[in-house]
Structure 1
Amino acid sequence: MSELQMRVSDEDRERTAQQLQQAFSEGRLTQPELEDRLEVALSARTYGDLLGLITDLPSTQPQVDDVVELGSKNGNVKRAGDWAVPRRLRIASKYGSVDLDFTEAVVPHQVVDVELDLTYGSARIILPEGAVANVDGFQSDWGQPTSKVPSRPRPGVLCVVITGRAKYGGLTVRYPRRRWFTH
């Protein structure tokens, strides 16, 4: 499934509506054009529907937390503890592994896209209990991605969509390990 076919959220629709209203206030759209486009924006189902409404308008700067790109040639990429998760995370690693722990992270978005480009490393993604992950868009030349969490999106639950590829590595998605203490 291409990104243009992915379903949009209410937040995505609202952001597009704000962009259209801004274009109207700058004189780029007439009142009838604004009304027509807002009607389509508020009923849009996919990113392709929304994109068609704004392609002829100057692009606005993405919000700081919209896309974050991380990379490493030789070291590992690791995020754990209290970290801010962007809407889209792009990670490229040539010889290192990727370790993303979402269990204590601040995640303001219900859907987070993680794009991995791995050459000689693997990725491990740990999600909070109840979260879901879709790994259908991830390809590995050696082996299959392993996901031990549900993949079906549910309302109000974090959904991580993982795409990309690994040449000589793999992908594991799981919940945190349970710790059993005996006294």
Structure 2
Amino acid sequence: MGDRELRVSDAEREHVGELLQRAVGLGMLSLGEFTERMDTALAAKTRGELNAVLIDLPGVRLIGQPAAPPTNFVNSARSFQQRRPMPGPPRPTVATPGNVIRSRISGVSRRGHWRVAPTLRLNNWFSGVTLDFTEAIMSTQVVELRVDDYFSSLNLIVPAEATVDLDAVDLIGSSVDNKVRTGPPLGPLHLVVHGRICFGSVTAKHPLRAHWHKPLGQ
């Protein structure tokens, strides 16, 4: 079996996605080309299929080529570990399932009496994520969200007394819609969102029932 037939991991697919994102930033790919190649990369099962989305981009070393100075592309486990990460929010050295939300081409929803860690880390690709804090169980008043999302939508639903700070979010081709008070933190929950959203959106709002009560004087 040759290198081209070796199976690839999710981490390698994500790294190729980062390379494609850099290519967009450098003007080498249009958004349409990026989307098409990302679809191919996420569906790739072998190194050959994954290499195909990078074959015409300069400055990458593909499988079978001789060793060269450090490059941006991974074609072995060793080179993958040595790659330079993209700038972004700090990442934890240890992550537990309770404080990480990670999805690929999926829909994620947290509702009801779910336990909220003081810090949540989100890393989603081509997904829709809804976090409903109206009945959530929180251990701290201030909850920090560290976001690194691509082509995804993030919806934050908070109680009427909650506040949300979205000022520290880096947007790349994305939008922010904050429909709630930003601060200071006076109620039971204050969300602080950091990180990066590429070609996506983030919305903070109250539940629908909070709007229905206003006309009724409740």
Instruction: Note whether the superposition's TM-score is higher than 0.5.
Output: yes
The answer as to whether partners of 1:84 and 1:106 remain within 8 angstroms in 2 is yes
Q: What is the CA–CA distance in structure 1 between the aligned matches of 2:173 and 2:154, rounded to whole Å?
A: 13
- By how many angstroms is 1:132 displaced? 0.2
Q: CA deviation at 1:115?
A: 1.3
**Residues 133 and 159 of structure 1 are in contact (CA less than 8 Å); yes or no, is this contact kept in structure 2?**
yes
Instruction: Indicate how the Cα distance of structure 1 residues 121 and 176 shifts in structure 2: closer, same or farther if over 3 A, else same.
Output: same
Matched, 1:151 2:148: no
8 A contact 1:80–1:104 mirrored in 2: yes
Please state if 1:131 is matched with 2:168: no
Cα RMSD after superposing both structures: 2.6
Larger radius of gyration: 2
Does the 8 Å CA contact 2:123/2:148 hold for their aligned counterparts?
A: yes
Aligned to 1:177: 208
Displacement of 1:114: 0.8
Number of the residue aligned with 2:149? 118
Taking the aligned partners of 1:174 and 1:136, their CA distance within structure 2 comes to 15
Answer yes or no: is 1:102 the counterpart of 2:156.
no
Q: 1:156 to 1:126 in 2, by over 3 A?
A: closer
1: distance between equivalents of 2:212 and 2:101?
35
CA shift for structure 1 position 157: 3.2
Q: 1:153 to 1:72 in 2, by over 3 A?
A: same
Secondary structure, in 3 states, of the residue corresponding to 1:115?
A: strand
Q: 1:134 to 1:96 in 2, by over 3 A?
A: same
| Whole-angstrom CA distance in 2 between matches of 1:155 and 1:126 | 17
Unaligned runs of 5+ in 1: 1-61
Which of 1 and 2 has higher RCO (CA within 8 Å, sep 6+)?
Answer: 1
Alpha carbons 1:139, 1:145 under 8 Å: kept: no
Count of residue correspondences: 120
Match of 1:71 in 2: 102
Distance 1:121 1:154 in 2: 27
Query: So what's the TM-score if we normalise by structure 2?
Result: 0.50
* Residues 76 and 152 (structure 1), Cα distance of their counterparts in 2 relative to 1, 3 Å cut: same
CA-CA distance at 1:113 after TM superposition:
0.3
1:164 and 2:195 equivalent? yes
TM-superposition CA deviations, 1:150-172 (whole Å, max 9, x none): 11123453100011221111100
8 Å Cα contact 1:98-1:124 kept in structure 2 = yes
In the aligned structure 2, how far is the partner of 1:85 from the partner of 1:103?
11
- 4+ residue segments displaced more than 6 Å: none
CA distance in 2, matches of 1:104, 1:156: 14
Structure 2, unaligned runs of 5 or more: 1-93, 214-218
Indicate the larger mover: 170-179 or 93-102.
170-179
- How is 1:10-89 mapped onto 2 (pairs within 5 angstroms)? 68-89=99-120
Over residues 120-167 of structure 1, what are the superposed CA-to-partner deviations in whole Å (9 max), with x where a residue is unaligned? 111000001110010011122224311111111234531000112211
> Which residue identity lines up with residue 107 of structure 1 in the other structure?
M
